[in-house]
């Protein structure tokens, strides 16, 4: 059985043609899958009976089972736990912003990057998600909230390293940005990476990868500190990473986001802030910095800095004209904040 949400539009057309059906049927099927978001071939009423029977016998369109959801009492964020067909689980977070909704999607079950401050990596990497499993997170959550409130933004900041699952991440972005499919704006989609240099270069050289926004998890202003927090920096060294980020092409007005998790006593000193200024000041118009106070999780060896220390760090950057924003993570009370997602056993909170 093939899952139709594994196909970008060209592949969907080719699949239909190769099986003896008209090319134009791809437009109809895409509308049912991504605009109307149906979960049954029987509901695709403008398709011929012959085509519907073929699809029922050879294809599927559902890949995730909602096990539970939980809503933050503080900010309204909602965390979803999905069961995959192999019984693994992943999490997705819906973030209610002031004027829009953002969905934080996962791309892997677990993660192999090994950042010391992240809960997700404690399981290691179990497997990559298929394209349909990434796309289905959006479809299912959009069904959950209803079509009256469109989810306009997607951030690839859930479980896993998106660029380590390159082809499936790429295809999911194609589906999200194709006007015949989900049809979101390219500027509303952000891929977050731990800084795999070769994959970042590949993404910007790949003419088939839609040009979307990039966020890089920096977390330290020096090689030694970054290597301590992020072992991936041993082979993806900070100096080369910054050089790469200086050279990749950006659309006018777009910036690369540097994500910096502030950890008490590790990377949150005034000296750290000054070193970060030295690292990026000459390219300050190319970057913006998101400061993310560390979000504790069970048995974590790290702590969250005091607010006074966070504000002092931010001030050093603004004093040097570096656009800097503190991201007070949402969903902390339900373990849905940055760095808190992890493969879990079923929790009976809001079972479906």
111 labelled as ligand-binding? yes
User: Is 98 found in the same domain as 10?
Assistant: no
User: Average pLDDT by consecutive 10-residue portion of the chain (352 residues)?
Assistant: 97 98 97 96 96 98 94 90 95 91 96 85 89 98 91 96 98 98 98 97 98 97 96 96 97 96 96 98 95 84 93 98 85 47 46 54
Q: CATH code at 188?
A: 3.20.20.70
Domain that holds residue 55: 2-60
Question: Token digits for 157?
Answer: 């900041």
Q: Give a yes or no: residue 157 inside a domain.
A: yes
Q: Which of 94, 92, 88, 87 is nearest to 107 (CA)?
A: 92
pTM above 0.85, yes or no: yes
User: Is 257 found in the same domain as 147?
Assistant: yes
Q: How far apart are CA 109 and CA 159, in angstroms?
A: 7
Rounded to the nearest 10 degrees, what angle do helices 197-205 and 166-177 cross at?
Answer: 40
110 labelled as ligand-binding? no
104 labelled as ligand-binding? no
Contacts of 327 (CB under 8 A, 6+ apart): 290, 291, 292, 338
C-alpha distances (whole Å) from 173 to each of 36, 59, 137, 211, 221 are 19, 22, 13, 9, 30
User: Is 281 found in the same domain as 236?
Assistant: yes
What is the pLDDT at residue 352?
A: 54
CB-facing half-sphere around the CA of 84: CA atoms within 13 A: 22
Three-state secondary structure call for residue 217: strand
Q: CATH code at 30?
A: 1.10.150.530
Q: How far apart are CA 186 and CA 189, in angstroms?
A: 6
Cβ(112)–Cβ(124) under 8 Å?
Answer: yes
Three-state secondary structure call for residue 64: coil
Contacts of 219 (CB under 8 A, 6+ apart): 115, 117, 226, 229, 230, 259, 260, 261, 267
User: Is 76 found in the same domain as 148?
Assistant: yes
Q: Map tokens 């060294």 to a residue.
A: 237
Cβ(335)–Cβ(68) under 8 Å?
Answer: no
Helix, strand, coil percentages, rounded to 5, for the chain: 40, 20, 40
User: Is 28 found in the same domain as 97?
Assistant: no
Q: Give a yes or no: residue 346 inside a domain.
A: no
User: Is 81 found in the same domain as 13?
Assistant: no
Stretch (H or E) spanning 277? helix 270-280
Catalytic, out of 13, 70, 133, 338: 338
Stretch (H or E) spanning 143? helix 131-145
What is the pLDDT at residue 31?
A: 98
Cβ(151)–Cβ(143) under 8 Å?
Answer: no
35: DSSP letter: I
User: Is 325 found in the same domain as 217?
Assistant: yes
* Active-site annotation holds for 239: no
- Of 35, 60, 85, the position where a domain reaches its end is 60
Cα–chain center distance at 221:
24
User: Is 223 found in the same domain as 110?
Assistant: yes
Catalytic, out of 13, 70, 91, 133: 91
> How many domains is the chain partitioned into structurally?
2
Question: Token digits for 242?
Answer: 């910054």
185 labelled as ligand-binding? no
Q: Give a yes or no: residue 341 inside a domain.
A: no
146 labelled as ligand-binding? no
160 labelled as ligand-binding? yes
State how beta strands 101-104 and 108-110 pair. Answer: unpaired
User: Is 293 found in the same domain as 280?
Assistant: yes
In sequence order, the β-bridge partners of residue 98 are none
Question: Token digits for 333?
Answer: 């009370």
Could you please report the per-residue DSSP string of 300-337?
-S--PPPHHHHHHHHHHHHHTT--EEE---S-GGGT-S
218 labelled as ligand-binding? yes
219 labelled as ligand-binding? yes
Q: How far apart are CA 213 and CA 264, in angstroms?
A: 29
* Active-site annotation holds for 91: yes
285 labelled as ligand-binding? no
59 labelled as ligand-binding? no
């Amino acid at each position: 059985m093939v899952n139709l949400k594994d196909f970008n539009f060209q592949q969907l057309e080719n699949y239909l043609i190769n099986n003896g059906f008209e090319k134009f049927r791809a437009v109809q099927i895409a509308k049912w899958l991504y605009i109307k978001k149906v979960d049954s071939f029987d509901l695709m009423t403008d398709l011929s009976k012959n085509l519907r029977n073929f699809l029922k016998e050879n294809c599927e369109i559902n890949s995730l089972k909602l096990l539970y959801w939980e809503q933050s009492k503080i900010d309204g964020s909602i965390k979803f736990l999905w069961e995959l067909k192999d019984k693994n689980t992943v999490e997705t977070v819906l973030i209610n912003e002031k004027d829009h909704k953002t969905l934080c999607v996962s791309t892997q079950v677990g993660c192999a990057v090994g950042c010391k401050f992240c809960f997700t990596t404690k399981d290691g990497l179990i497997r990559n998600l298929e394209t349909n499993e990434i796309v289905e997170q959006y479809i299912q959550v959009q069904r959950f909230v209803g079509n009256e409130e469109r989810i306009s933004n997607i951030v690839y900041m859930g479980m896993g390293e998106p660029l380590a699952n390159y082809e499936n991440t790429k295809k999911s972005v194609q589906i999200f940005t194709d006007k015949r499919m989900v049809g979101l704006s390219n500027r509303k989609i952000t891929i977050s990476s731990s800084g795999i240099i070769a994959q970042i270069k590949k993404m910007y050289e790949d003419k088939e990868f839609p040009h979307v926004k990039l966020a890089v998890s920096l977390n330290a202003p020096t090689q030694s500190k970054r290597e301590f927090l992020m072992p991936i920096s041993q082979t993806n060294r900070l100096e080369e990473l910054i050089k790469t980020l200086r050279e990749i092409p950006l659309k006018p007005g777009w910036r690369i986001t540097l994500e910096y998790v502030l950890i008490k006593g590790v990377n949150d000193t005034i000296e750290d802030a000054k070193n970060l200024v030295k690292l990026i000041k000459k390219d300050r118009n190319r970057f913006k910095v998101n400061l993310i106070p560390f979000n504790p999780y069970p048995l974590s060896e790290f702590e969250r800095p005091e607010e006074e220390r966070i504000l002092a760090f931010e001030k050093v950057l603004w004093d040097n004209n570096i656009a800097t924003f503190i991201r007070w993570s949402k969903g902390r009370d339900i373990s849905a904040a940055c760095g808190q997602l992890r493969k879990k056993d079923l929790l009976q909170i809001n079972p479906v």
